Amino acid sequence: MLRVVPFEQGSASMKQRLGGKGANLAEMTKVGLPVPPGFTITTDVCRAYYAAGGQLPDGLFEETMTAMRGLEEAKGERFGDPSKPLLVSVRSGSVTSMPGMMDTILNLGLSDETVEGLARATGDARFAYDCYRRLIQMFGNVVFDLESFHFEFLLQRAKQRLGIEQDHQMTADAWSALIDEYKAVIVKHTGLSFPQQAEEQLKLAIEAVFRSWNNHRARIYRSIHHIPDEQGTAVNIQSMVFGNMGADCGTGVVFTRNPSTGENVLYGEFLMNAQGEDVVAGVRTPMPIAKLEEEQPEVYKQLVSAAMKLERHYRDMQDIEFTVEKGKLYLLQTRNGKRTAQAAVQLAVVFVKEGTITKEEAIQRIEPFHLDQLLHRAIDPASRPDVLAAGLPASPGAATGQAVFDADTAEAWSRAGKKVILVRSETTPEDIHGVLAAEGVLTSRGGMTSHAAVVARGMGKPCVCGCEPIRLRDRAFEVAAADKVTATIAEGEWISIDGATGRVIRGVVQLREPEMTAELEELLGWADDIRRLQVYTNADTPEDAVKARGFGAEGIGLCRTEHMFMSPDRMPVVRGMILADTPEERASALAQLLPMQQGDFEGIFRAMEGLPVTIRLLDPPLHEFLPNVEELAVQHAQMMLQQAADSAERQQVEKLLRKVRSLHEMNPMLGTRGCRLGLIHPEIYEMQVEAIFRAALQCLNEQIDVRPDIMIPLVGHAAELKLMRELVDRVAAEVLGEQQHALHYRVGTMIEVPRAAITAGSIANHADFFSFGTNDLTQMTLGYSRDDAEGKFLSHYVESKLLPSNPFQVLDREGVGMLIRWAAEQGKAVKPQLKTGVCGEHGGDKESIFFCHAEGLDYVSCSPYRVPLARIAAAQAALALGDAPPVRPAEPVQSA
């Protein structure tokens, strides 16, 4: 077991053991960049700690102290020595970056005695006490689990008493007095006193880092981001450098390129005379990095050259933490920078053009769900929003919601189905569930690298930060201009934020549909060359079809015809059809619907010229088109009270009520729907099929290449499909007549009932294609009704790890996936040319797309906005899993 590794002995390749931070500190040391000396206690030790029930392994502390001797030598200082005290930071560092999840302790090694030594050695008592009070606060927070506000409150009170605003106005005496209060707070709340022995501090801090791996917020973060619990964290112990020693000191964060747009400029912030977390905590609003060039040109030059060196070394945009101590630059961290979707695409393409990475690497670097963010809506430039204030554009995308002022309310309201914008002065890791629940985040303080900004960017949520004109009040915020309050927004009022420009807007705004950039087109073109899976779209209207085609859809995998029945002008006709007393009445209603449907299909065929269009015949139970039975009953009762004699109106309502009641089913999802409807009321499907072929014929006559695929829903038995196919072929022959040979059409089915999957061999005899309707297939395989599951027990199942993820979002490979595999194999064994695809929501999910690729399906179909995402994911699947579909000889199993 590797336990303690000095920076100069590690490297980036040891990330699993050293954690991301430790591995990169080692790598930077190796390439000769100025990193304060330190060492890493490995993730092996973390696992050993938990295996032993929360105990450091034997001899570990001794080994740690041996490594400390190395630091003492390098710095010419001694740990715990009052005359020349060595101070260190203790920093957690997991393998996968977990921003803001575990806190760092700075200035460890200070005590009542050594602080005096530090004051003498530096000749700066104010500085020494500042360091000490920070240590006590961080130590109290991390080791003793005391909430930071205990300390913040005392600091605020002290500043108020002294009539000062900023921390740096505090004098040595003021800090010294505050230190006594801090120590008293710890005693009061824990019964323990702040340890005065450096070694004891170190031991407690190491244990606290390991403990923090399992704290609540770390566990939440891991479960959101699917980080395994066994990964463990490393502990980095590093000698201190000080950004709080005066005006030629400071601390900052830079990205080697703009992480919002990808633009090639050094991007970041710097806070003079400050230490550690001051920048990210949003305590003061820092200055842009370009200002550093004016103030300390020499340091700026060092920074630029270090940044360029790191980017070249890692072949990716870097996010760098640095500190300047008395005009000298030190690097404290580097990692691949988190970026917006826009920047991710931009950078991937630019790095290929710069010759830094290959096209394949570029594709692999794209996080598919990021494209979802990229294709998010923006505020319509033509709209005239009521702009209240402007802050920093911290994470792009526009969002509208009701203002809420704490994370718990955000979560509760969002559970209740409301859209919320979380408004805070700044966010902390404790707010993470609120950020998750919100449409977007607005803060009044903090910069582009503050916690809120980083977390929102990571989650792809719009965010506006550091919006200083707003002031938080009790469950409201005020907007002030020139010290006058110009607006007040209370909890529950609607606001909008524009994370691309930083605007904060009153009310709901008009949003504009996203567009593809040239870089994205280029990247998607590379993906198309690599992927094997085709990408279709789910589209019910010509508009959606056009949009999806613009995003690169290669066909329609699911066109739901019921939506065509729902528009207000058609509802009366549809109802007339359902309520008809005689076959003649029904025929006349259907005759009215026919040209409407024909028009719909013509529109879609034109939009998808040359590409396959899969049209699903009517699927939902008929009562969905009728009014709600309870409302009708109430209306009827009121009429009975008001009208003595029978009125025509009342008779109408009575008739409707009777019909609705007669169509009522205990469990409509499992009732008369899908092909069952088509078998019981063949005239409805006949009309739809006639409309499809008339539309096709019309297009054919206009020289438009049409490729209709007719899809029969909810088949469970081969005999059902056999009958439905006969219906389709018969109507086709009638409508097309002579032209039947000019048109190539296919008839297939959705595989969405487990029995259909199991008997796929028989069903394939009557099908040209299988489209796996994974939404229903998941419901029926797991026996979950989606609406009930997602609202009630599913989150519990996922949180307690009974299920790895929501099976309606990520395909359940072990269950549903095996049905798909079986059905595809059986089907192809009977009909090698059988086309297979997925048209459930899973068609737009990366993991599920990987599965479809691995199983050798022909296509996935997803909503228009997800088409680009699916193109990338399909290419990533081909790169990760290889190109060839599986060869699994299958014995066809057929029953009558």
| List of residues contacting ligand ADP (CB under 6 A) | 36, 89, 91, 100, 104, 106, 238, 240-241, 251, 276-277, 321, 323, 332-333
Q: Indicate the angle between helix axes 774-782 and 818-830, nearest 10 degrees.
A: 120
For the bound state, the minimum distance from the C-beta of residue 278 to Mg ion, rounded and expressed in Å, comes to 11
| Per-residue binding letters, 797-826, with Mg ion (x by CB under 5 A) | ------------------------------
* CA-based nearest residue to 6, from 53, 55, 73: 73
Alpha-carbon distance 575 to 307, whole Å? 68
- Return the one option of Mg ion, ligand ADP, none that residue 36 interacts with (CB less than 5 to 8 A, by type): ligand ADP
| Residue 330 or 601 with smaller CB distance to Mg ion | 330
Q: Are 315 and 334 in contact (CB under 8 A)?
A: no
Closer to Mg ion by Cβ: residue 333 or 534:
333
- Binders of Mg ion in range 327-386 (CB under 5 A): 333
CB of 450 to ligand ADP, least distance (A): 12
What is the b/e burial string over 87-98, where b = at least 16 CB atoms within 10 angstroms of the residue's CB?
bbbbbbbbbebb
- In angstroms, give the least distance from the CB of 21 to ligand ADP: 6
Question: CA–CA separation, 57 vs 379, rounded Å?
Answer: 56
x/- binding map, residues 88-127, to Mg ion, per CB under 5 A? ----------------------------------------
Smallest distance from Mg ion to CB 525, Å: 37
Encoded tokens for 276: 């550690």
Using the minimum distance from each CB to Mg ion, give the nearer residue, 333 or 444: 333
Contact between residue 441 and residue 428 where contact means Cβ atoms under 8 Å apart: no
* The two structure tokens encoding residue 869: 């995402």
Minimal distance, residue 46 CB to Mg ion, in Å: 18
CA distance 67 to 71: 7
The one of ligand ADP, Mg ion, none whose footprint includes residue 397, by CB under 5 to 8 A per kind, is none
Residue (323 or 402) nearer to Mg ion, CB: 323
Of 517, 250, 277, 536, the C-alpha closest to 378 is 517
On whether the CB atoms of residues 350 and 258 are closer than 8 A, the answer is no
Q: Pick between residue 209 and residue 753 the one whose CB is nearest to ligand ADP.
A: 209
User: Which span (109-117, 317-325, 805-813, 843-851) binds Mg ion, by CB under 5 A?
Assistant: 317-325
Least distance to Mg ion, CB of residue 61, Å: 25
Among this protein's residues, is 451 annotated catalytic? yes
By CB under 5 A, the residues from 777 to 796 that bind Mg ion are none
Q: What span, in angstroms and rounded, lies between the C-alpha atoms of 508 and 867?
A: 28
Identify what 238 binds: ligand ADP, Mg ion, none; CB under 5 to 8 Å per kind.
ligand ADP
C-alpha to C-alpha distance for 806 and 811, rounded to whole angstroms: 8
Residue among 46, 131, 376, 451 flagged as catalytic: 451
At 450, list the tokens: 């503050």
Cα distances from 539 to residues 61, 380, 762, in angstroms, run: 63, 24, 30
In the complex, least distance from residue 90 CB atom to ligand ADP, rounded to whole angstroms: 8
Number of residues that bind Mg ion (CB under 5 A): 2
Which amino acid would we find at residue 100? G
Q: Is 261 or 323 the residue whose CB approaches ligand ADP more closely?
A: 323
Sequence letter at residue 745: Y
Site map 392..431 versus Mg ion, x via CB under 5 A: ----------------------------------------
Strands 420-424 and 440-443: parallel
Distance from C-alpha of 380 to C-alpha of 300, rounded to nearest angstrom: 39
Residue number, 36 or 620, with CB nearest to ligand ADP: 36
Please say which residue, 239 or 876, places its beta carbon nearer to ligand ADP.
239
Count of alpha carbons within 13 angstroms of residue 718, beta-carbon side: 15
Work out how close the CB of 321 gets to ligand ADP at its nearest, in angstroms, rounded to a whole number. 4
Residue number, 92 or 496, with CB nearest to Mg ion: 92
Which range, of 155-163, 220-228, 326-334, 754-762, touches Mg ion by CB under 5 A? Answer: 326-334
Residue number with CB closer to Mg ion (407 or 470):
407
Dist. CA 207–CA 854, nearest whole Å: 44
The entry of ligand ADP, Mg ion, none that residue 240 binds, CB within 5 to 8 Å by partner kind: ligand ADP
Residue 396 per-residue DSSP state: -
Catalytically annotated residue among 463, 699, 839, 862: 839
The residues with which 859 forms a beta bridge, in sequence order, are 534, 837
Cβ(609)–Cβ(706) below 8 Å: yes
Residue 296 touches which of ligand ADP, Mg ion, none (CB < 5 to 8 A by kind)? none
Nearest to 5 by CA among 843, 27, 452: 27
Contacts from 660-664 at CB under 8 Å and sequence distance 24+? 660/623, 660/626, 660/627, 660/629, 660/632, 661/629, 663/578, 663/621, 663/622, 663/623, 663/626, 664/623, 664/629
Contact between 619 and 673 (Cβ < 8 Å): yes
Contact of 302 with 295, CB cutoff 8 Å = no
| Calpha distance 232→228 (Å, rounded) | 8
Tell me which stretch binds Mg ion (CB under 5 A): 170-178, 320-328, 377-385, 485-493: 320-328
Between 274 and 545, name the residue whose CB sits nearer to ligand ADP. Answer: 274
Both tokens of 9, joined, read: 């002995």
- Radius of gyration over alpha carbons of the chain, in Å? 33
Q: Select from Mg ion, ligand ADP, none the partner in contact with residue 323, using the beta carbon and a kind-dependent cut-off of 5 to 8 Å.
A: ligand ADP
DSSP state of 817: I
| 373, interface contact from Mg ion, ligand ADP, none, CB < 5-8 Å by kind | none
Q: What are the catalytic residues? A: 451, 839
Residues forming contacts to Mg ion in the complex (CB under 5 A) are 321, 333
